[in-house]
Amino acid sequence: MLNFHIIKVDLKNGETRYRTILTKSGKGIKTKTFRRKQDARTWGNRAVLDAQEYEAKGIKPCTVKFSRLADEYMQWWTGKDHDRVRLVLWWEHRLGKSLLSDITPELIRDTLKPKKSQAPATYNKHLAVLSAILDYATLQQEDDSVLEQYLDDNPCKRVRSLKVDNRIVRYLSEEEKPRLLKAAKAIGGKFYLKVLMALTTGMRKGAILTSIRAWRCWRTLKTVRHAIRRFLMLL
């Protein structure tokens, strides 16, 4: 039968922590430390009640660690992502000793915190790989031929990904503009005129080509049946 007891831990900085130790047949099987004694007692009581509920329903406790799941996933995975192995190893290094049942949304967020200082896409990619691994665990849980307890739900579904802004604003510096004009002038022809029009008017490539075609038509036919007036603001 599962039991627990709480011990007081005095840190070197003078602060106090309370450590809950879960025991089974007199042997410690899991610990967790809290700032408040009440939180330590609540966690211990919840763990005991969950164990009793699982036992009453005939559900076996999870004994699969993340390191084993990662190995099974890589043997099962047949994708072509060249970076997948590195990301799986990154997660295995941090969660390898954790039971699948101990991997919570809070633990995932805490593990990903260092990645928040990097690009949002990097954070999201790490989260996506972990979600794929845990999705495999839910597939194993649904397989009737698998007798061990894996995961019923993927905790990554309760972790928000970061918003990615793909817009890139780019302006030519005052040093780059003369260099661009010099290079365009060396090429010569209409290319230089197009670059000059783009820099002085801000017109896009399509608008410039349309204007050139209309100008050619006017020179050839001396008349334009459907004339289009274009207004440009020159700065």
**Whether residue 86 sits in one domain with residue 144:** yes
For residue 195, what are the domain limits?
176-221
Angstrom distance (rounded) from CA 3 to CA 26: 9
* Residue 224, pLDDT score: 46
Radius of gyration of the chain (CA): 32
3-class DSSP state of 225: coil
* Residue 232, pLDDT score: 53
* Residue 113, pLDDT score: 95
Residue 233 located in a structural domain: no
Neighbouring-strand partners of residue 99:
65
Residue 234 located in a structural domain: no
* Residue 225, pLDDT score: 47
Whether pTM > 0.85 for this model: the answer is no
Instruction: Give the number of other Cβ atoms within 10 Å of residue 70's Cβ.
Output: 20
Token pair recorded at residue 97: 């000793």
Residue 163 located in a structural domain: no
Q: Which residues of 190-223 are buried (b: 16+ CB within 10 A; e: fewer)?
A: eebebbebbeebebeeeebeebeeeeeeeeeeee
Instruction: Give the number of other Cβ atoms within 10 Å of residue 163's Cβ.
Output: 7
**Whether residue 151 sits in one domain with residue 91:** yes
Residue 198 located in a structural domain: yes
Q: Express each pLDDT in 47-70 by its tens digit.
A: 888 888 877 766 667 889 999 999
Query: Looking at residue 18, what DSSP letter applies?
Result: E
Q: Express each pLDDT in 121-161 by its tens digit.
A: 999 999 999 999 999 999 998 887 877 888 889 999 999 99
Token pair recorded at residue 136: 């495999």
Domain containing 137 — which CATH number? Answer: 1.10.150
**Whether residue 40 sits in one domain with residue 80:** no
**Whether residue 215 sits in one domain with residue 139:** no
CB 156 within 8 Å of CB 108: yes
Q: Express each pLDDT in 9-57 by its tens digit.
A: 999 999 999 999 988 778 887 888 999 999 999 999 988 888 888 777 6
Residue 169 located in a structural domain: no
Residue 168 located in a structural domain: no
